[in-house]
A = this chain, B = another copy of it.
């Protein structure tokens, strides 16, 4: 299997299909079989042509036992770049299998922002100290400084390596400096222009630098100063700025305005991705992605939401309990009552999801909140009327009782309006109170739509049918 043409064959045949990227199951099976057979040499040969991101995907796809065997098999040739790409739960397993010594070696290999990120993932203070002790003093200092900053801040995200030169330099001087072998980052997308106090005053795109002639001064081709990122700024704000202004990289400044680092778009892509994903997960009552977590951890992380939901469900039952005598008299009400609550819950969730996302992307702000609330109530009213007619007609025919049709229709209108109002008002209020609306809105919404739904339907029935 050492024949390169065989490797190419693997790459073509089992690694990727024609119109989509990603590992093919056949390839994963080949790796699994080699692991089962404890044939480490074949494992190493199979993954040798892979991009580090593909190896990360492969490690995630393997079962827990295979995962440990895989890490042992490739330990001697382990690519440090794999680590930042892994899911948190999987990464913890891999690091444990690598051991402190090899993990510290990985930290030395990756760029400073990745080293900070990886070191920050070790939650146990003693373990982290053990790993940091194995690093060169300079890198250790960088990591310790960054970890002292708030989690999810720009300072955690930034790279310290950058190119900064004064504005009076010429294009020629700058290119000579870059060629001089000065200590430079591996990759950079722009050159920051700084004043004598090392504050950013602008930046030069590399394409502009390459196009200009040698005697041109940088100040003539630099872009006027764009957004600076304070080192303590939350990463979601950083992501907003990058997305809004299509930035590739941006300068990070300390409290006195000095240039201390840069954030690059590849790190921000991960933040943007996580941001939308987190909101999606939170709306469903998940504290985090738990696909690769152990069963017991997953049960724990999902428990709180289910318990809260049980509270809501019991509350709804208490409301129903108020009308036991009504239900005894007209059992048809018990048959129909989930419809009103369920429709309210679904309509409210539509509004809620739009509101939570719009708050995250700053499309919903104090400036347009009133208008949007009005719109959602109007939509609730219209949908309420439409579904009142539909449901009322069905119920009338089903139970041959027009009064039931009228009652369920009226309850539908009330609950749909309540759902629209609650769906927009709850996240707005939580956001104003600085509570993440994605985390908690759902419980409040279900409470409103269940309580209003059952109360309106059974209450109206108690008054008008009995």
Residue ranges of A at the interface with B (Cβ–Cβ < 8 Å): 19-23, 25, 28-29, 51, 53-54, 57, 60-63, 85, 87, 175, 178-179, 184-189, 205-207, 209-213, 227, 230, 232-234, 237, 240-246, 248, 265-266, 268-270, 272-273, 276-277, 279-281, 283-286, 289-292, 295, 298-299, 302-303, 305-306, 309-310, 312-314, 316-317, 320-321, 324, 327-328, 331-332, 334-339, 341-343, 346-347, 349-350, 352-354, 357-358, 362-368, 371-372, 375, 378-379, 382-383, 386-387, 390-391, 394, 446, 450
Show 19 A/B contacts (Cβ-Cβ < 8 Å), sorted by A.
A19-B230, A21-B241, A25-B367, A51-B244, A57-B363, A210-B210, A265-B266, A273-B276, A276-B276, A289-B354, A291-B358, A298-B379, A299-B379, A306-B343, A306-B346, A309-B342, A314-B394, A316-B342, A327-B327
Which of B187, B292, B317, B335 is within 8 Å of A324, CB to CB? B335
Which of A240, A241, A317 has most B Cβ within 10 Å? Answer: A317
A349, B248: Cβ atoms closer than 8 Å: no
Nearest chain B CB to A317 CB, angstrom units: 5
CB distance from A327 to the nearest CB of B (A): 5
Min distance, Cβ A380 to any Cβ of chain B, angstroms: 10
Known: A283-B280, A331-B327, A349-B284. A63 touches B338 (CB 8 A): no
In the complex, A212→B180 CA distance in Å? 9
Q: Could you say how many copies of this chain the assembly holds?
A: 2
Say whether A291 contacts B363, CB under 8 Å: yes
Please determine whether B339 and A310 come into contact, CB atoms closer than 8 angstroms. Answer: yes
What 20 additional pairs, Cβ within 8 angstroms, besides A19-B234, A178-B207, A277-B357?
A25-B365, A85-B244, A248-B248, A272-B272, A273-B276, A279-B280, A280-B357, A286-B354, A289-B357, A290-B354, A295-B375, A299-B379, A306-B346, A309-B346, A313-B343, A314-B394, A316-B339, A316-B342, A338-B341, A338-B450
What are the 4 tightest A-B residue pairs by CB atom distance, in nearest-first order? A276-B276, A284-B353, A334-B334, A28-B367
Q: Which of B23, B248, B276 contacts A266 (CB 8 A)?
A: B248
State the CA gap A248–B79 with chains docked (Å): 21
- Residues on the B chain within 8 Å of A213, using CB: 179
A23 touches B365 (CB 8 A): yes
Which of these, B246, B265, B270, B358, contacts A248 with CB under 8 Å? B265
Contact (Cβ within 8 A) B22 A240: yes
A463 to chain B, nearest CB (A): 19
